Amino acid sequence: MTPDLPREIVALVNGGPPGTSILTSRALHYGDGVFRTLLRHDGRWLDFDRHYVKLVQDCRALDLDPPHVGQLEAELEALGGGRATPAVGKIILARAGGGRGYTPGTRQCERILLRYPAPRYPASCWSEGVTAIRSPVMLAEQPRLAGAKHLNRLENVLAAKGWPSGVQEALMTDTSGRLVCGSRSNLFWVEAGRLYTPKLGRCGVAGLMRARLIEAARSLGLNTELVEAPFEQLLQAREAFICNSIIGLWPLRRVESQDYGPPGPLSQRLQVLLAHPALADLG
């Protein structure tokens, strides 16, 4: 008999209740799969179509065949949650098959879907900005997987440990000291009137909110420069911010000893363009 899930977590595996097959899943044994995290607000899963496109791209990196968009959308809706209750959904696509051995036997996916309560953060994270540190944990370079949100996230797990009080993110570099991302976010900064973000050609996750912000900046007539930059370049910036699909955009108030001051003008304009539901809820 399998134990019941905590009441606040709802799960589906291949459209049905979780069973013992998860014990032999290649997701559990090898991290052989990809995932996406999305927000449910006002009775709908935000940016689902965009998340599906990202899933397809990431499946391609692992030689996986993604499920049909209609099937995945229907199963997400089956997780429910009502209109009034914000939630976080997680879509895991794991290579089908079990047993021992690294060699994959199929391109087919198993679908693991979960719904969690949406986290609550202080309004100051958006209005005043957050503090970040430089993580001592570095990201290994693997161009074949660069950009993909695959299930091997141990580096991020280690980077998320042991933060001092008042810190909301740890920023990570690759082993050569080049900026990559936060432990749970993508990174942007503004210097001399230009917007920058790490290139992610060697490692790191190309998040959906990162793509949305690049588009939003373009609508303001500002192209985003994708660069390979040392960590020290961030400390010379006029303003900086982090993003993901759950938080939208958080300005960076302080990184290490660098104090950027209140949220900068571009950070504020991009927040308005994103119209992230958390801001409306806080208002």
Q: Residue 149: is it exposed, middle or buried by C-beta count within 10 angstroms (0-12/13-18/19+)?
A: buried
Residue 50 neighbours by CB under 8 Å, 6+ apart: 208, 211, 212
Please say whether the beta carbons of 1 and 17 come within 8 A.
no
pTM of the model: 0.92
Residues 89-126: b if buried by 16+ CB within 10 A, e if exposed: bbbbbbbbeeeeeeebeeeebbbbbbbbebeeeeeebb
What type of residue sits at position 209?
A: M
Over residues 151-171, the pLDDT tens digits come to 999 999 999 999 999 999 999
- What's the pLDDT at 283? 46
Is residue 165 located within the same domain as residue 65? no
Structure tokens at 92: 């895991």
- Specify which residues 249 forms β-bridges with: 243
Tokens of 238: 């006029």
Same domain, 138 and 260: yes
Range of the domain at 84: 10-117
Identify which of 144, 136, 133 has the alpha carbon closest to the alpha carbon of residue 203: 144
Q: Are 113 and 128 in the same domain?
A: no
Domain assignment present for 4:
no
Q: Are 121 and 247 in contact (CB under 8 A)?
A: yes
Look at the block and give the residue holding tokens 């953060």. 121
Token pair listed for 250:
């958080």
22 & 134 share domain: no
Q: Residue 141 and residue 160: Cα distance in Å, rounded?
A: 19
The string of pLDDT tens digits covering residues 43-53 is: 899 999 999 99
In this structure, the answer to whether residues 134 and 113 fall within a common structural domain is no
Q: Is residue 33, in this structure, part of any structural domain at all?
A: yes
Which band of pLDDT confidence, cut at 50, 70 and 90, is reported for residue 7?
low
In a domain, 2, yes or no: no
Distance CA 209, CA 51 (A): 10
The pLDDT of residue 25: 87
- Domain ends where: 117, 139, 156? 117
Same domain (yes/no): 103, 139: no
> Of the given ranges (5-19, 170-184, 228-242, 263-277), which has the lowest mean pLDDT?
5-19
Q: What is the CATH number of the domain that holds 51?
A: 3.30.470.10
Looking at the structure, tell me whether residues 80 and 190 fall in a common domain: no
Q: At what angle do helices 208-219 and 265-274 cross, to 10 degrees?
A: 110
Choose one of 100, 117, 134: the last residue of a domain. Answer: 117
Q: Residue 170 in contact with residue 160, Cβ under 8 Å?
A: yes
Q: Are residues 60 and 195 in the same domain?
A: no
Q: Is residue 151 in a domain? A: yes
In 32-185, beta strands by DSSP E: 33-41, 44-45, 87-95, 109-117, 130-134, 169-173, 179-182
Label residue 281 by pLDDT band (50, 70, 90).
low
Same domain, 188 and 205: yes
pLDDT at 280: 58
Residue 169 resides in a domain: yes
Residue 176: CB atoms within 10 A of its CB come to: 10
Instruction: Determine contact, residues 190/237, Cβ cutoff 8 Å.
Output: yes
- Domain boundary among the residues 117, 151, 184 is at 117
Closest to 239 (Cα-Cα) out of 213, 269, 260: 260
Q: What percentage of the chain exceeds 70 in pLDDT? A: 92
Strand partners, 169: 132
Q: What does the pLDDT look like over 122-156, one tens digit per residue?
A: 999 999 999 999 999 999 999 999 999 999 999 99
Asked if 37 and 100 sit in the same domain, the reply is yes
DSSP calls for 68-106: PHHHHHHHHHHH---SSS-EEEEEEEEES--SS-SS---
Distance CA 280, CA 260 (A): 25
Residue 100 covered by a domain: yes
* Overall number of domains in the chain: 2
Please check whether residues 52 and 75 belong to one and the same domain: yes
Residue 93: pLDDT band by 50, 70, 90 thresholds?
very high
Q: Do 73 and 185 sit in the same domain of this protein?
A: no
Query: Which pair of tokens denotes residue 142?
Result: 């693997």
Q: Return the CATH number at 169.
A: 3.20.10.10
